[in-house]
Amino acid sequence: MQSFGNFAILLAFVLCWYALLAGIAGQLFRNERLAASAQRASLAVFPAVAAATLSLVGLVLRNDFSVSYVAEHSNRALPWFYKVSVLWSGQEGSLLFWSLLLSGYAFVVLLSTSKAHRHLRPTVAIILSSVQAFFLTLNVFVASPFITTPVGVPADGSGLNPLLQYFEMVVHPPMLYLGYVGFSVPFAFALAALIHRYPGDRWIQITRRWAMIAWGFLTVGIVLGGHWAYTVLGWGGYWAWDPVENAAFLPWLMGTAFLHSVMMQEKRGMLKIWNVWLVFATFLLSIFGTFLTRSGVVSSVHAFAQSSIGTWFVVFLGLALLVCIVAFLLNRDFLKSENTLESTLSRESGFLFNNFVLLVAVFAILWGTLFPVLSEWIQGQKITVGREFFDRINVPIFLFLLFLTGVGPLLAWRRTSFNSLRRNFLLPACAAVALFVALFAFGMRDLYPMMAFSLGLFVVTTIGSEFLRGARVIAGRTGRNLLSAIGYLTMRNTRRYGGYVIHLGIVLIGIGLAGSGFNKDVEAPMPYHAHMQIGPYTLNSLARSENDNDNYSSESLIVQVFRNGQPYTTMFPARRFYKASNQPESMVAIHSTPLEDLYLVYEGDDQTTQQPILRAYLNPLVSWIWYGTIVVAFGIGIALLPSRKADSSPQIRPALANEEVALAH
Amino acid sequence: MPISSVLKRIGLRPPLREKTQLEIPSAAPTRRPRVSSKRAAFVLVLLLASGIGLRGDNNDARFQRLGQKLICMCGCYQGLLVCNHVGCTVVTKMRTELSQRVATKDPDNLILQAFMQEYGSSVVAVPSTHGFNLLAWVMPWVAAALGLAFLLWVIRYWSRHRAAPAAGSPAPRPAQVEAVHNEVERELQNLFGESGDRSKGGRA
């Protein structure tokens, strides 16, 4: 199976380079047969990489420790579902996984691209093949997962890192990678359209759709990573502004900017240069993120899979950037705007400010992430840029972004009258101010959380009124009830209302994040029947229990929880000792409610007294982050659906149109 | 308010680092400020009150505040108060050290400097606000200001260069009116249209 895997990856490598070189030759010499052959080779890369991937998974499942990668990342007692996740737990495997996803995307893109874009397809195939060729080169020559164990075959493997033996780690990396890799597709379409000076705007629709898919995966991947950090690492938080977290967040922010500004191009033929560069930058940041993760250039809590592979990524990034710049310089006249801004008070301005704020956030995070490297280079002194820096810089930026999220729907395309804005602005603004005052009256004094809650209400009111106004018109004219009318309205313009649902999800996430301003924590030795108080909860240490299996031995504290003096629940914070890797690990116990999470960590035993030490956190509103992400994913699903066709009933359409005209004024 | 600031306000020099908080620093008699007995009594009461406060909850608050500014140097790069690796000896040592330094009532910056001397500059979780490191704090806002200036310039440029009807231009031709009507029709359709592209007339 090892030989088969080696053969499959080598075959994929040859096919991919053939697809790249033959594709370029076919384009240069206008040889259609050669170009078609290149595309077929491009399609064939996917089954070849899939075969290589399956053979690696097979080697892991069969405990074939003659393969170095299997011996280093798996062991016999590892449950089968974690054995599958061994694929992305090490550098060689995760690079192979990247190749698999990219070839899968290319396969789907080339088969699904409609005839309308057949002129773009060969160039898209070449661009995707060039990215694929880079990764397959790494798979074959730099980080092959099929290398034989150098010194004999061990009886058992070293085991999977205990931190990775969680459900989230089975799902989070694939989601994140689907996001990272997915941005290759809009990049390929944007670059191909630029190179060919492709007429019309339809290419931007495909780019947008693929960007939305990649953005959705990245969103879910990032949040799953946060959930993993929260439930596994045991420090009571979900986001630490670690360089590797930032590396995922940067393309997400850039992709968000693109998904907003692309509407300017679709609706008004504006910002074409901007959009093309946003797509390029998003892709480049995805590669940059992988570089940060793999190279070890910055210090990170994610100290996995660091190596000298970073040089390869720097060269690839440089080449990709060069291609983008050359393609842009040669074809920039093709990207002239068809329109200009008609009024400062318009939806277009809103999008411009939205993009501005998102890019400032990108710069601030990138700057903070790379500043230690810069400092070491210039001062010869390595410094740390930690959470406090990022919080101080980014919180005001994101609050302003939240404000813009609420303002956007109030603005009309082209021009908005002050009267219209005032009328639409009044209710949401009053609601936000009222909430702010109420929070102050109830004793809250933390400015940022107060602003986050108020702005959250502002956005919800804005979006709610958008839904209600449209739904009332439809309900009045069609006899539907309000709920059905909202459904009908949403399905008639899935992009618009799906987008609003995404914004609602973002607000929920924002509220959850704002809750962190009120976190509490207590740490104390907890001998039997000792008590600990945190918020309304009293914790009573009852006993310890022990467990043992082939993979790990564990020790749990049994903690009885009282809320306001009343028995509430029992929790079991634990510690595990993984036998194969000889690593201890804390197992957090969380009792989650919509209002707050009670989060217990068994930190170990005091070395002198041998008494267990318990750390308790009270984290308000954390679950809103997870619920918000579900809403975002739901909104993405809606936005990707095709809109239902307009009702052509002669009685309804003019009536609806009249109502909308009234609403618009 | 830090004790040194209170002392400065009422005309006294802050205590030297080696002295305890309650000691008035020794200085040359010619440079000693003239302090009234009422003022001195006020200072004493204030210092005692501060000292009592610091011995109680303030020590915990300072420990938390300073702990958040430091990272564990075991190689995990987590905050000093965050690192929860089972059996991490570095974090235990560093926390004990911080607790002892907080108890000595040294000012925050001196405690941080002591940690930097012992563990290197990367032990502090945020860049300092002087010298080269100030750039870390300033650059995002400089970039934001430059970006905003550019954005406003673009908006102004577009506003000036948009096509405006010339004065005394003739009335629109019927074909133009028809075109406008068509556009209005498309826009109305957009309100309940299906897609966002201009060719179909959608509204995103």
Place of tokens 């809750």: A515
Pick from A239, A267, A480 the residue to mutate for testing the B interface (most B CBs within 10 Å).
A267
Q: Alpha carbon B169 to chain centroid distance?
A: 57
d(CA A526, CA A641): 54
Which of B120, B139, B148 lies nearest to residue A367, judging by beta carbons? B139
Banded model confidence at residue A201, pLDDT cuts 50, 70, 90? confident
Q: Give pLDDT tens digits for A527-553.
A: 888 999 999 999 999 888 888 888 889
- Interface residue A199 vs chain B (CB under 8 A): no
**3-state secondary structure at position A564:** coil
Which residues of chain B does A642 touch, with a Cβ-Cβ cutoff of 8 Å? 194-195
Q: Quote the tokens at residue A115.
A: 């005839």
Cβ–Cβ below 8 Å for A353 and B195: no
Cβ–Cβ below 8 Å for A495 and B196: yes
By C-alpha distance, the chain A residue nearest B188 is A657
Q: What is the pLDDT of residue A387?
A: 87
Q: Give pLDDT tens digits for A569-627.
A: 999 999 888 887 777 888 899 999 999 999 999 988 877 888 888 999 999 999 999 99
Report in angstroms the alpha-carbon separations of A629 from A497, A501, A512, A599, B20: 17, 11, 11, 21, 53
Q: Give pLDDT tens digits for A325-353.
A: 999 999 888 887 777 777 777 888 888 89
Pick from A230, A493, A581, A609 the residue to mutate for testing the B interface (most B CBs within 10 Å).
A493
- Interface residue A545 vs chain B (CB under 8 A): no
* Sign of the torsion formed by the C-alpha atoms of A32, A37, A40 and A45: negative
Q: Give pLDDT tens digits for A429-480.
A: 999 999 999 999 998 888 999 999 999 999 999 999 989 988 998 888 888 8
- Interface residue A522 vs chain B (CB under 8 A): no
- Interface residue A656 vs chain B (CB under 8 A): yes
Residue A271 in any domain: the answer is no
By C-alpha distance, the chain A residue nearest B124 is A384
Mean pLDDT for A494-514 is 94
- Interface residue A235 vs chain B (CB under 8 A): yes
Report in angstroms the alpha-carbon separations of B140 from A17, A361, A451: 42, 8, 22
Q: What is the pLDDT of residue A486?
A: 92
Q: What is the pLDDT of residue A90?
A: 87
Q: What is the pLDDT of residue A400?
A: 94
Q: Quote the tokens at residue A497.
A: 């209302």
Cβ–Cβ below 8 Å for B82 and A240: yes
Which residues of chain B does A360 touch, with a Cβ-Cβ cutoff of 8 Å? 140, 143-144, 147
**Of the candidates B122, B69, B76, the residue with the CA atom closest to the CA atom of residue A379:** B122
Which residues of chain B does A516 touch, with a Cβ-Cβ cutoff of 8 Å? none
Structural domain boundaries, residue A598: 521-623
Instruction: For the beta carbon of residue A66, count every other beta carbon within 10 angstroms.
Output: 13
Report in angstroms the alpha-carbon separations of A409 from A425, A652, B144: 10, 25, 24
Report in angstroms the alpha-carbon separations of A14 from A141, A147, A517, B42: 13, 19, 54, 85
Query: DSSP string covering A399-421, please?
Result: HHHHHHHHHGGGSPSS---HHHH
Which residues of chain B does A202 touch, with a Cβ-Cβ cutoff of 8 Å? 197, 199
Residue A293 in any domain: the answer is no
Pick from A360, A394, A658 the residue to mutate for testing the B interface (most B CBs within 10 Å).
A360
Q: Which of A145, A165, A185 is the last residue of a domain?
A: A165
Phi, psi torsion values for A336, nearest 5 degrees: -70, 140
d(CA B66, CA B94): 12
Tell me the shortest Cα–Cα distance from A382 to chain B, in angstroms.
6
- Interface residue A608 vs chain B (CB under 8 A): no
Report in angstroms the alpha-carbon separations of A92 from A154, A567, A569, A620: 20, 51, 44, 40
Phi, psi torsion values for B173, nearest 5 degrees: -75, 160
Report in angstroms the alpha-carbon separations of B191 from A42, A498, A639, B172: 42, 15, 16, 27
d(CA A225, CA A302): 11
Q: What is the pLDDT of residue A304?
A: 52
Residue A409 in any domain: the answer is no
Angle made by CA atoms A232, A238, A244, in degrees to the nearest 5:
95
Instruction: For the beta carbon of residue A573, count every other beta carbon within 10 angstroms.
Output: 24
d(CA B203, CA B183): 13
Residue A184 in any domain: the answer is no
Which helix (H) or strand (E) element contains residue A80?
helix A80-85
Q: What is the pLDDT of residue A319?
A: 96
- Per-residue pLDDT at A411 exceeds 90: no
Per-window interface: A 299-328 vs B, CB < 8 A:
299-301, 303
Which residues of chain A does B143 touch, with a Cβ-Cβ cutoff of 8 Å? 360, 363-364, 367
Q: Give pLDDT tens digits for A261-293.
A: 988 888 888 888 889 999 999 999 999 988 887
Query: DSSP string covering A213-224, please?
Result: HHHHHHHHHHHH
* Sign of the torsion formed by the C-alpha atoms of A370, A373, A377 and A383: positive
DSSP 8-state secondary structure symbol assigned to residue B54: I
Is A576 within 8 Å of A617 (Cβ atoms)? no
Phi, psi torsion values for A619, nearest 5 degrees: -110, 105
Pick from A304, A337, A340, A414 the residue to mutate for testing the B interface (most B CBs within 10 Å).
A340
d(CA A251, CA A216): 12
Q: What is the pLDDT of residue A339?
A: 74
Cβ–Cβ below 8 Å for A646 and B192: yes
The runs of H, that is alpha helices, within A163-308 are: 167-182, 184-196, 202-228, 243-268, 272-295
Cβ–Cβ below 8 Å for A340 and B69: no
**3-state secondary structure at position A552:** strand
The count of residues in chain A is: 665
d(CA A45, CA A112): 16
d(CA A129, CA A112): 17
Cβ–Cβ below 8 Å for B195 and A495: yes
Which residues of chain B does A556 touch, with a Cβ-Cβ cutoff of 8 Å? none
d(CA A483, CA A310): 53
Q: Which of A131, A165, A199 is the last residue of a domain?
A: A165
Residue A53 in any domain: the answer is yes
ipTM score = 0.84
DSSP 8-state secondary structure symbol assigned to residue A76: T
By C-alpha distance, the chain A residue nearest B69 is A388
- Interface residue A657 vs chain B (CB under 8 A): yes
From the first residue on, what is the mean pLDDT of each consecutive set of 10 residues in chain B (204 residues)?
41 36 35 50 49 53 86 80 72 88 87 89 87 93 94 83 52 57 60 42 34
Q: What is the pLDDT of residue B73?
A: 86
d(CA A626, CA A512): 9
Place of tokens 């949040």: A223
**Of the candidates A153, A183, A166, the residue with the CA atom closest to the CA atom of residue A72:** A153
Which helix (H) or strand (E) element contains residue A543?
strand A537-548
d(CA B176, CA B172): 6
Report in angstroms the alpha-carbon separations of A269 from A331, A433, B191: 17, 37, 19
d(CA A539, CA A559): 6
Banded model confidence at residue A636, pLDDT cuts 50, 70, 90? very high
Q: What is the pLDDT of residue A631?
A: 97
By C-alpha distance, the chain B residue nearest A346 is B155
Which residues of chain B does A363 touch, with a Cβ-Cβ cutoff of 8 Å? 140, 143-144
Minimum mean pLDDT range among A79-93, A296-310, A362-376, B161-175:
B161-175
Cβ–Cβ below 8 Å for B192 and A393: no
**Of the candidates A455, A462, A407, A461, the residue with the CA atom closest to the CA atom of residue A433:** A455
- Per the DSSP assignment, residues forming a β-bridge with A613 are A525, A604
Tell me the shortest Cα–Cα distance from B73 to chain A, in angstroms.
11
d(CA A78, CA A164): 12
What share of chain A in percent tops pLDDT 90? 56
Which of B78, B193, B204 lies nearest to residue A266, judging by beta carbons? B204
Cβ–Cβ below 8 Å for B69 and A268: no
Tell me the shortest Cα–Cα distance from B5 to chain A, in angstroms.
25
Instruction: For the beta carbon of residue A315, count every other beta carbon within 10 angstroms.
Output: 11
d(CA B124, CA B94): 12
d(CA B108, CA A443): 29
Residue A512 or B166, more confident: A512
- Exposed / middle / buried, residue A152 (Cβ in 10 Å: 0-12, 13-18, 19+): exposed
Query: How many CA atoms lie less than 13 Å away from A647 in the CB half-sphere?
Result: 16
Q: Which residues contact A201 (CB under 8 A, 6 or more apart)?
A: A265, A266, A269, B197, B198, B199
Buried b (16+ CB within 10 A) or exposed e, A68-100: bbbbbbbbebbeeebbebbbbbbbbbbbbbbbb
> How many A/B residue pairs have CB atoms within 8 Å?
181
Query: DSSP string covering A572-601, please?
Result: --EEEEETTTTEEEEE-EEEE-SSEEEEEE
Per-window interface: A 51-70 vs B, CB < 8 A:
none
Tell me the shortest Cα–Cα distance from B109 to chain A, in angstroms.
16
Residue A29 in any domain: the answer is yes
Phi, psi torsion values for A549, nearest 5 degrees: -140, -175
Is A600 within 8 Å of A524 (Cβ atoms)? no
d(CA A482, CA A470): 10
Q: Which residues contact A216 (CB under 8 A, 6 or more apart)?
A: A179, A633, A636, A640
- Interface residue A665 vs chain B (CB under 8 A): no
Which residues of chain A does B162 touch, with a Cβ-Cβ cutoff of 8 Å? 340-342
Tally helices (H) and strands (E) across chain B.
Answer: 7, 0
Residue A3 in any domain: the answer is yes
Buried b (16+ CB within 10 A) or exposed e, B93-124: ebbebbeebbeebbeeeebbeebbeebebbbb
Tell me the shortest Cα–Cα distance from B127 to chain A, in angstroms.
6
DSSP 8-state secondary structure symbol assigned to residue B124: B
Q: What is the pLDDT of residue A500?
A: 94
Q: How many domains does chain A have?
A: 2
d(CA A15, CA A50): 14
Residue A158 in any domain: the answer is yes
What residue type is assigned to position A240 of the chain? Answer: A
